[in-house]
Structure 1
Amino acid sequence: MSHTAHIRSHRKPRRSASTIAMRAGVAGGVLSTLAVAGASGSANAAEPVTQTLELPTLTADLAAQVAQSADVTQQAAASYQLQAERDAAAAKAAKQAKTDLAEAKKKAAEAKKKAEEAERKEAAERASRAAERTTLSASSDTGSSTGTGTSSNTSTSTSTSTATGSAAAVVSFVQAQVGKAYVSGATGPSAYDCSGLVQAAFKQVGISLPRVSQAQSTAGTQVGLDNLQPGDILYWGGAGSAYHVGVYVGGGMFVGAQNSSTGVVEKPLSYDPPSGAVRVL
């Protein structure tokens, strides 16, 4: 025993077993806590920290707004497409109209040119016939003034004989066409219109008449209906504006290409009384 053991102040108090055990438990708990904290710290240090973003929840109102926006976008796209189609159709129509207008102008120009050529040809024919009539008239006047009475009578007789021969040929031709068809614009030989028949008849005796009835009604000398001779040209309507022509064949009869229902017929003057007549032969 120590020499100081008898002194109370120097004697360490004895620790009870329970105290020791409690202190050991506290220490163990602290150590355990420190171990867990260390492990946790190590784990936290090893793994990166991530941040989680919460997206807004798609509510019924938001869904309706999205659907409405989609409908508006679709309608706008359809409207743009419709407008584009209309613009394309308008452009195509304008292009076609321009083409049609150019074609119409071209056809009109061609028709005008043909009409002018026909008019010039007809004018030349009228001038030629007028010159022939003037020459024949001058020759007749010269023969009458220079010849004797006998010669004059002979000349008149010859002239009448020639006119009768030509007239006979004209009459014979038109009568041979009776029963054939009437076709507007036709000049034979299987069908005629009124002026086509008259023109063809006088062509047989070497006389070139105008093609249309208006011109044929002024192609010769005007004669009265009470002084008609075979071969005279009858016309209906005014001189220069006649709408129909035919040929007087004698005996109060005429031949004409009347219409599509009757064709070429021989009828009395009372069937369709003419307005006037001209004598070419």
Structure 2
Amino acid sequence: MSQTAHIRSHRKPRRSASKIAVRAGVAGGVLSTLAVAGASGTATAAESVTQTLELPTLTADLSTEVALSAEATASAAASYELQAERDAAAERAAELADRNLEKAKAEAAAKKKAEEAAAREAAERASRDSSRDTLTTTAASTSGSNSSTAATGSAASVVAFVKAQIGDAYVSGATGPNAWDCSGLVQAAYKQVGVSLPRVSQDQSVAGTQVSLSNLQPGDILYWGGAGSAYHVGIYVGGGQFVGAQNSGTGVIQASLDYDPPSGAVRVL
């Protein structure tokens, strides 16, 4: 007997091929089963997720967002419309303010013009009133001397001419022979003695030397209004009297100086 016969071998006993095959089949089956189970589990999990994300929930949220968006749009539109109304109202107010301003300016200008006209009229009236007493006194003091001292020369011809027209009609713009306006009569009277006078009252009131109403002589030109802006003229004929084409109601008349006191006088002859 060999000496090593009693020593147990350390090598593992060989497995038979049949056992190995059986074990491999079992392992493969187990793995296949696990794979199928895993796939089934994955499919089930996917199906569970699909079922959890329900469409009604998404639809409700979307509806809420749409409603909010529509409300915001309507609010913005209302805001724009309100702003447009405010802008239109502001524009109308500005136009009204401009019209009111122009109206106020026109009224102020008209008022100023009326006040200036009233002031001029008052000044002229005051001048005539202040002259009234002087003229009355002058007429009284000179009536005797003037009536006894007749006009001579060219002045006498002027006086005779205007007295010859007493009773003729007054017509604006007329220069004779049977109708006159005030300056037309004065111009014609001086034309008889070879003196050429301007046509209108304003110019005739400065056509000669200014003389005091207290120192009048027959033939002097009397004027009403300002020198250079007179609105009426006549001829002083002596004795505190004048002859003039007054208006369409009276025609050419002879009257006392205090009938309508003149503002001044000029001497041409």
* TM-score relative to the length of structure 1: 0.42
Q: Which has the higher contact order (CA 8 A, sep 6+)?
A: 2
Normalised by the length of structure 2, the TM-score is 0.44
